[in-house]
Amino acid sequence: MAKGLVVAILSILFYLSNLLGGGQGPVRTADPPSEQQSYVVLGQTAYITAEKAIVRRGPHSGDTPVGTVAKGAAVTILDQKGNWRRIRYAPGADGWIPSYVLEFTETPQRGQDQIVLAHFPADPPAIESLLENGGSLTGIAPWGWHLDSYGNLSTSFQPEVLGKHLYFAGNQKLKTYALVRLDASPVKLLENEYLQEKTAREILESIKEWGLKGVYLDLNYIPREEEKLGNFLKNLKALLDPEGFQTLLALPMEGLSGKSGSALSSAADYLIVKTGGKPERDGPGPLASYPVIKESLKDILKRIPGEKLILGLRPGGFDWARMGAPAELSYQEIMQLAARRGASVKWDAESRSPYFQYGTGHEVWFENRYSLKHKLDLIHDFGLAGIAFLRLGQEDPEIWNTISTSFNQPIAR
């Protein structure tokens, strides 16, 4: 890795630890390099002070105009070069504008009455959704951490890319969590106290290093060792709590149904009940049937208070063929497929889910604004803490208007 890039990344880490509320970063630099200076502005909010500001394709007065912005309009800062700022001034519309026509303002802190989290894979759809809908979120959990059976914590992200997105989130006053995936039970970890202490400290150090607000442990299996897992989480939470960090645990809905759940509930600040992670049946069918979710929540709430539960929703869908595993698609891909195949979207009243058929034996089931609205209603009906989208960027864009409308209602307690 080039020396300049190393310095930039280390400078990013120091800035993030202060901007996002973590501990002291790994290095102090009196004069951050240009890469960091550019990142610092990511996500800042500004208002137009000129009567009509011209937006240009590049950061020079001679560059081609691409639009105009009226006085008083709010814009989001994406980059800077000299005395120019790149702004997002309309949905999908970016451009450059001189800094003297901008008045910067502090983004207000987010209220926590309704939690709206999202898994953030940092791919183009997720980045675009964050730019457009970040104001409706209260936090993101970037992908990139993994925990194996022995509790070894590994990463798969590019540090400079993660740093840029954390800058944006910090300036937008979003809480950020390290999303740590567990694809199978960490058997060796749960049987060894030394490994548990080592793993907990590695998680704490990673949170501090990146200036995060806590850890989001994402279980992609149904835990059978609730007591052992609960003990590890309890010790982890005891380590994080004094530092002001949160512990979130996500697990499949089936992992809490019919179980006590008390050991896991007491060991985490919030439990994310994941729905729609896999097809419910061997053949085509809804991602997460409304009556199934409703009945499962009724059962879970007998043992765990609603204010500790976050409903995890997968916003895309699956395309089943006659043979083989279904293909996972985003809402945008599904709508394009339906249009290309001339398919008519139908509504299944029992599961409250949309679907359509095309070709020879293909059947597509997915989530849209209407099906997700029914699930959002459950948050109010049962007094849950909020929602978590299990992959940002795959959703029906209109769901954000539905969230705004739904979460303006008082939450039942």
pLDDT given for residue 55 in this prediction = 96
Does the pLDDT value for residue 259 go beyond 80? no
pLDDT digits (tens, 9 = 90+) for 113-133: 789 999 999 999 999 999 999
110 or 197, greater pLDDT: 197
Can you tell me the distance from the alpha carbon of 327 to that of 321, in angstroms, rounded to the nearest whole number?
Answer: 9
Long-range contacts of 63-66 (CB under 8 A, 24+ apart): 63/96, 66/93, 66/95
pLDDT band at 43 (very low <50, low <70, confident <90, very high): confident
**Residue 84 parent element (H or E):** strand 84-90
Percent of the chain at pLDDT above 70? 86
Give pLDDT, residue 107: 75
Q: Give dist(CA 290, CA 61) in Å, integer.
A: 55
- State how far the Cα of 315 lies from the Cα of 328, in Å rounded to an integer: 11
**Percent of the chain predicted with pLDDT > 90:** 70
Tokens 């095309």, residue located:
358
Cβ–Cβ < 8 Å for 385, 310: yes
Within a 10 A sphere around the Cβ of 73, how many other Cβ atoms? 14
Give the pLDDT band of residue 112 (cuts 50, 70, 90): low
Structure tokens belonging to residue 59 = 């950061």
Report CA-CA distances (Å) from 259 to 265, 299, 302: 12, 9, 10
Structure tokens at 150: 């022995």
Q: Which amino acid is at 60?
A: H
Of residues 180 and 6, the one with the higher pLDDT is 180
pLDDT tens for 270-310 read 999 999 866 645 679 998 899 999 999 999 999 999 999 99
Q: Please report, as a single letter, which amino acid is at residue 225.
A: E
Examine the pLDDT at 108 and tell me if it is beyond 90. no
Higher pLDDT, 398 or 262: 398
**Burial group, residue 340, by CB count within 10 angstroms (0-12, 13-18, 19+):** exposed
Least confident of 134-143, 253-262, 337-346, 362-371: 253-262
Does an H or E element contain 56, and which? strand 52-56
135-182: pLDDT as tens digits: 899 999 999 999 999 999 999 999 988 998 998 999 999 999 999 999
**Residue 230: what residue type?**
G
- Report the pLDDT averaged over residues 10-36: 44
The overall average pLDDT reported for the chain is 87
* 318 and 279 Cβ atoms separated by less than 8 Å: yes
pLDDT at 333 over 90: yes
pLDDT the model gives residue 277: 63
Domains of the chain, earliest start first: 3-105 (2.30.30.40), 115-406 (3.20.20.80)
Which residues lie closer than 8 Å to 3 by C-beta, 6 or more apart? none
pLDDT, average across residues 314-318: 93
Mean pLDDT of 248-256: 91
AA letter at 66? V
More confident residue, 39 or 29: 39
pLDDT at 310: 97
Residue-by-residue DSSP string for 176-214:
EEEEEEESS--HHHHT-HHHHHHHHHHHHHHHHHHT-SE
Asked if the model's pLDDT at residue 89 lies above 80, the reply is: yes
H helix or E strand, kind and range, residue 148: none
* Higher local confidence (pLDDT), 393 or 14: 393
- 84, pLDDT greater than 90: yes
Q: What is the pLDDT of residue 282?
A: 64
- CA angle, residues 376, 178, 92, in degrees to nearest 5: 60
* Residue 29 in this model has a pLDDT that exceeds 60: no
